Amino acid sequence: MDAMVRELSYAQAIQEAMAIAMEMDERVFLMGEDIGVYGGAFQVTGDLVERFGTERVIDTPISELGGAGVAVGAALTGMRPIFEFQFSDFATLAMEQIVNQAAKMRFMLGGEVSVPVVMRFPAGSGTGAAAQHSQSLEAWLGHVPGLKVIQPATPYDAKGMLLAAVADPDPVMIFEHKLLYKAKGPVPEGYYTVPIGKADIRREGRDLTIVATSIMVQKALDAAAVLEAEGIDVEVVDLRTIRPMDKQTVIDSVKKTSRLMCVYEAVKTLGIGAEVSAMIAESEAFDYLDAPIVRLGGAETPIPYNPELEKATVPQVPDIITAARDLVKGVR
Amino acid sequence: MPIEVILPKVDMDMATGQISRWFAEEGATVKKGDVLFEIETDKAAMEIDAPASGVLRDVTGREGVDIPVGAAVAWIYADGEAYGTGVSAEPMKIEAPTSPSDGGGRAAGAGGGEPAAAPPAPAGRPADPPHKGEGEGRARATPLARRLAREAGLNLSALSGTGPYGRVVKADIDAAIAKGATKEASAEAPEAPAVASTPGVKAMSDDQVLRLFEPGSYDLVPHDNMRKTIARRLVEAKTTIPHFYLTLDCELDALLALRTQINAAAPVKKTDKGDAPAYKLSVNDMVIKAMAMALKAVPDANASWTESAMVKHKHADVGVAVSIPGGLITPIIRHADEKTLSVISNEMKDLASRARSRKLKPEEYQGGTTAVSNLGMFGIKDFAAVINPPHATILAVGAGKERAVVKNGEIKIATVMLVTLSTDHRAVDGALGAELLVAFKRLIENPMGMLV
Amino acid sequence: MGTASKAVADSRANLPFVYRQYSAEQLKHVLYKMYLIRRFEEGAEDSYTRGLIHGTMHLSIGQEASAMGICMPLGEDDQITSTHRGHGHCIAKGAEVKRMFAEFFGKTTGYCKGRGGSMHIADVAKGNLGANGIVGGGIPIAVGAALSSKMMKTGKVVVSFFGDGANNEGAFHEALNMAAVWKLPVIFVCENNGYGMSTSTARSTAVKNIADRAAAYSMPGVIVNGNIFSEVAEASYKAVERARAGEGPTLIESKTYRHRGHSKSDRNRYRTKEEIEDWMSNRDPITLFENELREFGFIDDKGIEAIRVAVAQEIADGIEFAKASPSPHVSETGNYVYTEQA
């Protein structure tokens, strides 16, 4: 790759991806609340409206259901919309269009149509926005056949996976952790894609596999660095796509390390950790397990406002270190 | 390794027990033989001694609650033994499963398997008290350790686990292999069964069965729902009900004579197919009636087993096994004890004919308090039938045949029919079953009793 | 569709809209299609009662003039989104009944290859983007299709059919607002048959006419007698002209009636026999249209009979086609969930 690699923030990487997609394909356009001159609630669209005009960077009324439906309809009829929910929590207002329409249209019509819509969901806690602006609802959509659901964890993946999503013929839902928007990382210039449905081994290790998603990937890497000093060698698998899940990468990793821990911010129960754990228990990796599977997920509560409580509701680096140490040392 | 203190079985019929009083408390130093606690049964209070000397820890068996037999209620740690890490170099002692209670009586909870109800976890402790020796000698081991042990031919239960709760982990297998544990060691010890909690032999898979036959040498007929239901219900009945069997000869000559007489006396009824007798009794109709009356005479045997109570029926509802194309079904003559022979006979004809055309309504074949299965028409001499829950009994009826019998020192010819009563031992004990069968025989041999 | 010649037009100057606007052949074809919709639904109902169709279906018998009238001025490239009561829309937009029957029978030759059934009947090639099982679900989608038309400058007009029940869904309001703000080429057609399942509009809807809602979104709200073909077609014609001229959306309320219940499990407890009987005998849209055609000399009894015979044949052939078509194999259950990778 000759492309220049610079440091960009996650938000800048997404913005650059959207700009490239719009330059390459006139069918691509952006829709969302306050994504124009305001630049988006998290400044992800930034000044794209100045480059592409209000016809292709469309501010919608505060109408999540209608807006999502318009995006679905436009995708159904030849356009390539990228629809931004201001907060992923607001997508609950649009579940009808996402779950009943976008996900099922191709199937219901016997393959006669496709719905190449991309939807972006700023998600997660840590901003003090309290219970209605901090949720991680990706598992809701991960449960719906017909959707693809991704959670890029780095600026590099954010750009490459968004470009892959725009090129994808099916609806792709992108969950972006709000605390990641400012995270910086190397991003090549120009067009490239990162495949949907492929996990990434961020760190190789022998003693324990940590399957993490989104912001928990970096936390797991931080924990792994501490554990390394104690002689515990952690492998960190960034799941990246939760539907369709890259089972084989996880299976191969667990066969190597014989221990599995899942770390994710969403509420622990009935979440991605349950899916990964059950998948491993059903797989050939079962006979390689040398310890019980451990899940570290969010508390069974809404996200609280108070910053200390807010931190306590989601796994933090020390929680991962403790749980990993207990697991490897045989305390659990 | 800490020594487990269990709630012991101290009475034959005991599945659970209650601790009425502890004599030592958490953290106390106890000597082997000291009285630890008292168990209350319905017969007596029993004092239980400490199985070892040391410090009493993790007292999870609370006073006044039902605790399954064999469950751990506390642990005794040797002086100086580390507490709280769950790791010890001492080999884990695996308790042999409690032997099944003799006499075939009510034996729930005996013979291993999961306890019926786990005791509630005490507050302030993790919900996972270290049960050991649970199940039939099943060792706690990780899937990886199990696989490695299997591949190395090691007997898992002979290994000491260094993982949490004595779990055997990969390191233990590696250590055992390094120490030179050989395949011979396991030659007499069977491989740890993968599904040890289910007693009995695991059924062969479809593939395993088919592989025994040459391809093309058979046809595969898919099961219909009736076949599936029969298979499921019979497996359930035969594996969950403790069957036992009683067989008796019944002489039929008086009954056959009475039957001829009654049938001859049948009034003539006009039907669309011309005149016909209003009834025509079969031997089986009389068997149904006799069974129903016998149950009325021995009401304790007219019962159904449930886990919480004995169901004592007020009516005798007799199911009759009817063979139909592709299977069998058991329509029920309700209140057969109260019905006349002619009513039973006509009802039976109607039920049997509708059974054959699969026109029975569920309420016509569900329930019942006993059943009769008659294979006499095929000349079968004697057989034992599988109980059809919720019944506690079923009577298998063989063919009536002339036989030489000895009476008062003389050989005479009598028509003899063998009947075998299967009973659910949980509900009908041996003597009670015998009483029922004798009452039945008395009615068959003195059939006038069925007319009054 | 071509229009009647000048001379013919003059002689029809005092007749209602469609008799001035369209040729006799076109109007006879409309009658054919109205019969085709009626007989298709009767045939589907009959096949349902014979156990050839499973699930349920929502019949639009009594609403044929509405479907035909709205689609009359549309071209083949124009698009519609339809509803659970969408058989009429599908036929009016040009679908073949044999492939519709095949879909209802769950066959691979059906429009959705047996995956959609009655409730998701579609004919994308003819511009029907699909019936929708969610009340109001198709309205924002139609707005999205209209946005595509505007952005890609295709000149397509999009019609969104929905019922009176949908006018109380949030999607209706959000979609109408956006279409008006962005002046999109979309026509909202509310087929008001008086009942959302069992609940009458009087009990469910705060405004007297659903067309009154248009004022809130700054668009024309037009009320037509949905059982009179010419009235419906005239309103649709004007709305299409407005949309094509870039002037934005129109809301048409087509007041009509369904002769049958809501679905196959409806016991009709919420309306009287007299009410149903009145609509069937005095306001049947096919009878009304047929009478006008006869009165104005566009067709005679022989011509009507010929249409009926031809329709009966097409329906019978359609059912045979469906019966003879293959069912999908269960191994294909997972098809069409995602776009197949080449």
pLDDT band at B90, cuts 50/70/90? very low
Task: Determine the pLDDT at residue B121.
Answer: 37
Task: Give contacts of C111 with chain A, Cβ < 8 Å.
Answer: 109-110, 112
With CB atoms and an 8 Å threshold, state whether C137 touches A97.
Answer: yes
- The predicted model gives B78-97 an average pLDDT of 52
**Predicted confidence (pLDDT) per residue in C241-289, tens digit:** 999 999 999 999 999 999 999 887 777 889 999 999 999 999 999 999 9
* A292: closest chain B residue by CA: B142
pLDDT at position C94 over 60:
yes
pLDDT at position B325 over 60:
yes
Task: Determine the pLDDT at residue B216.
Answer: 79
C308-313 — which CB contacts under 8 Å span 24+ positions? C308/C35, C310/C32, C311/C32, C311/C35, C311/C36, C311/C39, C312/C39
For B422, other C-beta atoms within 10 Å of its C-beta total 27
Q: What is the pLDDT along chain A (332 residues), one digit of tens a residue?
A: 556 899 999 999 999 999 999 999 999 999 999 999 999 999 999 999 999 999 999 999 999 999 999 999 999 999 999 999 999 999 999 999 999 999 999 999 999 999 999 999 999 999 999 999 999 999 999 999 999 999 999 999 999 999 999 999 999 999 999 999 999 999 999 999 999 999 999 999 999 999 999 999 999 999 999 999 999 999 999 999 999 999 999 999 999 999 999 999 999 999 999 999 999 999 999 999 999 999 999 999 999 999 999 999 999 999 999 999 999 987 76
**Closest to A263 (Cα-Cα) out of A225, A220, A200, A202:** A220
**Closest to B71 (Cα-Cα) out of B141, B138, B2, B132:** B132
pLDDT at position B97 over 90:
no
Report A:231-260 residues touching B (Cβ under 8 A).
Answer: 258
Task: Determine the pLDDT at residue B103.
Answer: 38
Is residue A165 within 8 A of residue A80, CB to CB? The reply is: no
- The predicted model gives B201-224 an average pLDDT of 78
Task: Determine the pLDDT at residue A194.
Answer: 98
Instruction: Determine the distance in angstroms separating the CA of B239 from the nearest CA of chain A, rounded to an integer.
Output: 28
Domains and CATH numbers, chain C: 6-326 (3.40.50.970)
A200-329 and A5-188 share a CATH fold:
yes
**Closest to B135 (Cα-Cα) out of B188, B192, B209, B215:** B192
pLDDT at position B280 over 80:
yes
Question: Among A83-97, A188-202, B162-176, C156-170, whose mean pLDDT is lowest?
Answer: B162-176
Q: Which phi and psi angles does B44 have, rounded to 5°?
A: -160, 170
What is the percentage of chain C residues whose pLDDT exceeds 70?
Answer: 97
**Closest to A238 (Cα-Cα) out of A268, A260, A254, A218:** A218
pLDDT at position B125 over 80:
no
Task: Determine the pLDDT at residue A119.
Answer: 98
pLDDT at position B132 over 50:
no
The burial class, CB within 10 Å (0-12 / 13-18 / 19+), for C183 is: middle
| DSSP E strand stretches across B375-425 | 393-407, 410-424
Q: Catalytic residues of B, which ones? A: 425
Task: Determine the pLDDT at residue B227.
Answer: 82
Q: Does A189 touch chain C (CB under 8 A)?
A: no
Sheet holding C158-163, edge to edge: C79-81, C158-163, C186-192, C250-255, C221-225
Task: Determine the pLDDT at residue B42.
Answer: 60
pLDDT band at C111, cuts 50/70/90? very high
Element at C318 (helix H, strand E) = helix C301-324
Q: Which residue has the tokens 């033994």?
A: B81
Task: Give contacts of A61 with chain C, Cβ < 8 Å.
Answer: 174, 177-178, 181
Full-prediction pTM beyond 0.80? no
Question: Among A5-19, B95-109, B388-402, whose mean pLDDT is lowest?
Answer: B95-109
Q: Does A107 touch chain C (CB under 8 A)?
A: yes
pLDDT at position B10 over 90:
no
C-alpha–C-alpha distance, residues B190 and B171, integer Å: 22
Q: Do chains A and C touch (3 or more CB pairs under 8 A)?
A: yes
Task: Determine the pLDDT at residue B368.
Answer: 92
Domains and CATH numbers, chain B: 3-137 (2.40.50.100), 138-202 (4.10.320.10), 228-450 (3.30.559.10)
B316 CB contacts (<8 Å, ≥6 apart)?
A: B291, B292, B293, B295, B296, B302, B335, B336, B337, B369, B370
C-alpha–C-alpha distance, residues B170 and B141, integer Å: 9
**Closest to A281 (Cα-Cα) out of C179, B143, B323:** B143
- The predicted model gives B130-145 an average pLDDT of 63
Partner residue facing A72 (CB), from C120, C144, C340:
C144
Task: Determine the pLDDT at residue C246.
Answer: 97
Question: Among B354-358, B429-433, C155-159, C165-169, whose mean pLDDT is lowest?
Answer: B354-358
Task: Give contacts of A69 with chain C, Cβ < 8 Å.
Answer: 137, 139-141, 143-144, 171, 174-175
C295 CB contacts (<8 Å, ≥6 apart)?
A: none
Q: Does B86 touch chain A (CB under 8 A)?
A: yes
When comparing pLDDT for B34 and A191, which is higher? A191
Average pLDDT, chain C: 95
With CB atoms and an 8 Å threshold, state whether A331 touches B164.
Answer: yes
Is residue A77 within 8 A of residue C148, CB to CB? The reply is: yes
Report B:154-173 residues touching A (Cβ under 8 A).
Answer: 162-164, 167, 169-170
Region of C299 (left: φ > 0; alpha: ψ -120 to 50; beta: rest) is beta
* C137: closest chain A residue by CA: A97
pLDDT at position B54 over 80:
yes
**Predicted confidence (pLDDT) per residue in C276-330, tens digit:** 999 999 999 999 999 999 999 999 999 999 999 999 999 999 999 999 999 999 9
Q: Does A325 touch chain B (CB under 8 A)?
A: no
Going from N- to C-terminal start, the domains of chain A cover 5-188, 200-329
The full DSSP string for A91-133 is GGGGHIIIIIIITTHHHHTTTS-----EEEEEE-S-SS--TTS
The third-level CATH classification (topology) of the domain covering A5-188 is Rossmann fold (3.40.50)
Q: For domain A200-329, which CATH number applies: 3.40.50.920, 3.60.9.10, 3.40.50.300, 3.40.50.2300?
A: 3.40.50.920
For C217, other C-beta atoms within 10 Å of its C-beta total 20
pLDDT at position B243 over 90:
yes
Report C:162-181 residues touching A (Cβ under 8 A).
Answer: 170-171, 173-175, 177-178, 181
When comparing pLDDT for A134 and B26, which is higher? A134
For B94, other C-beta atoms within 10 Å of its C-beta total 18
For C179, other C-beta atoms within 10 Å of its C-beta total 32
Strand B45-49 relative to strand B72-77: parallel, antiparallel, unpaired? unpaired
Instruction: Determine the distance in angstroms separating the CA of C142 from the nearest CA of chain A, rounded to an integer.
Output: 6
Q: Does A331 touch chain B (CB under 8 A)?
A: yes
Partner residue facing A287 (CB), from B147, B163, B167:
B147
